[in-house]
Amino acid sequence: MADNIKIKVENLYKIFGPHPKKALKLLSDGIDKETIFDKTKTTVGVQNASFEIHTGEIFVIMGLSGSGKSTIVRMINRLIKPTSGKVLIDGKDVVQMDEDELVKIRRKKMGMVFQSFALMPHMTVLQNAAFGLELDGIDVKTREARALKALEQVGLETWANSKPNELSGGMQQRVGLARGLAVDPDILLMDEAFSALDPLIRTEMQDELLKLQEKEKRTIVFISHDLDEAMRIGDRIAIMEGGRVVQIGTPEDILQNPANDYVRAFFRGVDPTNILSAGDIAVKTQVTVINHPGKGARAALQRLAGYDRDYGYVLDNNRRYLGVVSTDSLRALIDKKGDTKDITKAFLSMVTARNSSDSMQEILPDITEVPCPLPIVDDEGVYIGVISRNLFLETLHRSEINTDEHEMVQ
């Protein structure tokens, strides 16, 4: 999987202030950030961060204010020069690059979107979107055509000749996004890109980003201090505390096994039924029956009896979900003495499969209504597993314990 790694960060440190070497030494002696600041007036921005970001994923870095999030993204494109450590992009260390290489990699491989939009007030929307290409020395016609295409992607082509200050905040950030997309970068760095927008616009922008990401997979490093945002868009999340990366994992991993109280604190007040999707908790514990000609109701019944189960999940050759049968419905079919080959006649009509991306909250009514564990499928209809009532309740319970423990510590 090594070629799948786009960005690799190794033992990265950033120390702000007059005595970085001294502070590094103190850190390695195990002295903490606050003491170091008192002693040397230097601030530890990031300490010993190591992680890998995969090609095409949205990697969210989350943490409280001052935890070093902005510092870390700025070390990826070296707007901030690391004190020590490595940042490998496609295997090349950004820290060791000279000025020319740096300018080149920034022009060709990376785009950035800023919290405060950072649009050039003296340029039109189109010129702003074309800015990265302009810096790269691409001629006016080509760059404006490409910029216009990027503006189309964010739905702002009609505003091309306006100035940024004529646009609303949400629209300005679309221009910021278009500027990042116009250079067609492998990597998009987004530092709290949506934090300045009001909640409705913010969700809209998140959806837009996800849609864009579906069409063209980029590696996105997204900084956020908003848990909901991180959960919505992140393929994986890194949580930072005081300059350190304290946990990395999928949203579900982190929710279910928070590394410490700090991480847990993020999840306080978060309703797990909103975050965990059906796909996250579905398990493949049930008996499945592949429906193909020649195998009928009798064979299915036999298989269920063999496993001592009441329900069977019928799939096609491509493991797509077709329906659920029960021992009762199969017996009824056999008793009718009709065509026992057609197993679909024994399907339980009240059970419909739910999509793996549905939240726990959304599937709750189904869970309570259907007699059997609820089947879960993905977007193509492929069977993923089932969620039983017990499993559902257990998941709820586990999340509650996590939050309770935290409250006791406080």
Partner 1 sequence: MNFFSFEEKLIPLDEWVQTFVDWLVYNYRDVFQTIKAPIEVCLKSFEWLFNAMPPLVMIILLAIAAWRYAGKKTAIFTVVSFLLIGYLGLWDETMTTLAMVISSVFFCALVGIPLGIMAGRSERFELFLRPALDAMQTIPPFVYLVPVVMLFSIGTVSGILATIVFALPPIVRLTNLGIRQVHPELIEAALAFGATSGQVLRRVQFPLALPSIMAGLNQTLMMALSMVVIAALIGAGGLGNPVVQGLNTLEIGLASIGGLAIVLLAMVLDRITQGFGKK
Ligand X SMILES: Nc1ncnc2c1ncn2[C@@H]1O[C@H](COP(=O)(O)OP(=O)(O)OP(=O)(O)O)[C@@H](O)[C@H]1O
By the rule CB under 8 A, 304 interacts with partner 1: no
Among 19, 54, 107, 149, binds partner 1 (CB under 8 A): 107
Phi, psi angle pair for 81, to nearest 5°: -85, 125
Comparison of 176 and 272: residue with beta carbon closer to Mg ion = 176
Residue 389: name its binding partner from ligand X, partner 1, Mg ion, none (Cβ under 5 to 8 Å by kind): none
Q: How far is the CB of 72 from ligand X (least distance, A)?
A: 7
Query: How many residues make contact with Mg ion (CB under 5 A)?
Result: 1
Q: How far apart are CA 51 and CA 182, in angstroms?
A: 28
Residue nearest to Mg ion (CB): 70
Q: How far is the CB of 83 from ligand X (least distance, A)?
A: 12
Q: Are 283 and 256 contacting, i.e. CB atoms less than 8 angstroms apart?
A: no
- Closest listed residue to residue 409, CA positions, set 239, 262, 245, 253: 262
Q: How far is the CB of 73 from ligand X (least distance, A)?
A: 8
Q: How far apart are CA 118 and CA 114, in angstroms?
A: 6
By the rule CB under 8 A, 121 interacts with partner 1: yes
By the rule CB under 8 A, 116 interacts with partner 1: yes
- 168-194 burial string, b = 16+ CB within 10 Å, else e? eebbbbbbbbbbbbbbbbbbbbbbbbb
Q: Are 314 and 323 contacting, i.e. CB atoms less than 8 angstroms apart?
A: yes
Comparison of 132 and 323: residue with beta carbon closer to partner 1 = 132
Q: Are 28 and 191 contacting, i.e. CB atoms less than 8 angstroms apart?
A: no
Residue 106: name its binding partner from ligand X, Mg ion, partner 1, none (Cβ under 5 to 8 Å by kind): partner 1
Among 12, 24, 45, 112, binds ligand X (CB under 6 A): 45
- The piece of 62-70, 153-161, 246-254, 353-361 that touches ligand X (CB under 6 A) is 62-70
Q: How far apart are CA 234 and CA 250, in angstroms?
A: 8
Q: Which residues contact 76 (CB under 8 A, 6 or more apart)?
A: 7, 9, 87, 89, 94, 110, 187, 189, 221
377 bridge partner residues: 355, 383
Among 10, 134, 253, 378, binds partner 1 (CB under 8 A): 134
DSSP 378: -
Count of CA atoms in the C-beta half-sphere (13 A) of 178: 33
By the rule CB under 6 A, 38 interacts with ligand X: no
* Contacts (CB under 8 A) with partner 1, residues 159-198: 179, 183, 189
By the rule CB under 8 A, 269 interacts with partner 1: no
By the rule CB under 6 A, 48 interacts with ligand X: no
* Contacts (CB under 5 A) with Mg ion, residues 52-91: 70
List % helix, strand, coil for the chain (3-state, nearest 5): 45, 25, 30
Comparison of 3 and 100: residue with beta carbon closer to partner 1 = 100
By the rule CB under 6 A, 66 interacts with ligand X: yes
Comparison of 121 and 293: residue with beta carbon closer to partner 1 = 121
265 bridge partner residues: none
- Closest listed residue to residue 209, CA positions, set 223, 200, 220: 220
Q: How far is the CB of 220 from ligand X (least distance, A)?
A: 17
Among 66, 92, 135, 199, binds partner 1 (CB under 8 A): 135
By the rule CB under 6 A, 71 interacts with ligand X: yes
Q: How far is the CB of 53 from partner 1 (least distance, A)?
A: 17
- Per-residue tokens: 227: 């848990």
Q: How far is the CB of 69 from Mg ion (least distance, A)?
A: 5
Among 43, 250, 273, 403, binds ligand X (CB under 6 A): 43
Q: Are 384 and 378 contacting, i.e. CB atoms less than 8 angstroms apart?
A: yes
Query: How many residues make contact with ligand X (CB under 6 A)?
Result: 12
Comparison of 135 and 393: residue with beta carbon closer to partner 1 = 135
| DSSP output for 303-347 | HHHHHT-SEEEEE-TT-BEEEEEEHHHHHHHHHTTS-TT-GGGGB
- The piece of 67-75, 103-111, 133-141, 355-363 that touches ligand X (CB under 6 A) is 67-75
By the rule CB under 6 A, 69 interacts with ligand X: yes
By the rule CB under 8 A, 354 interacts with partner 1: no
Query: How many residues make contact with partner 1 (CB under 8 A)?
Result: 28
Residue whose structure tokens are 């001052």: 66
Q: Where are the alpha helices (DSSP H) in 225-267?
A: 227-233, 251-256, 261-266
Which parts of this chain interact with ligand X (CB under 6 A)? Answer: 16, 43, 45, 63, 65-71, 225
Which parts of this chain interact with Mg ion (CB under 5 A)? Answer: 70
